[in-house]
Amino acid sequence: MARALTNRPALLLADEPTGALDNRSGEQVMDLLIDLNQIGQTLLIVTHDPHLATRCAGRLIEVADGRVARESTLEPTA
C-alpha cells in the first residue's frame, strides 16, 4: 500500500484490500483507507466484504453478471 501511495495518485485502486488478512490486520487496513479518504484521497475499492463496503464507502455500486445491479449513496459508519 505504501508503494501505491508514494506518488500521491489522484485515484487509489484497492482490489480486495482485506481479502487475505486476519481480522486485526484487516481492521487496520480499513482504518488506514478511511483516514486517507478523510484527508482527500479518492478511493475505488473492489470487495466482496459488505462490512468493508458499508464502513468505507460514500457510494456503493453492486455488480452482478457483469452489469450494475444496484447503486446507492451511503453515509460512512466509521
Q: Can you name the residues that pair with 42 across neighbouring β-strands? A: 11
pLDDT of residue 77: 55
Confidence (pLDDT) at 47: 87
Full-prediction pTM beyond 0.75?
A: no
The span from the CA of 44 to the CA of 76, in Å, is: 15
Enumerate the domain spans of the chain: 2-73
Contact 74, 56 (CB under 8 A): no
What pLDDT does residue 3 have?
Answer: 82
What does each of the 78 residues of the chain score in pLDDT, given as a tens digit? 778 888 889 999 999 988 899 999 988 998 998 898 888 888 898 988 888 777 777 888 888 999 999 998 877 555
CATH homologous superfamily of 2-73: P-loop containing nucleotide triphosphate hydrolases (3.40.50.300)
Separation of first and last alpha carbons in the chain: 20
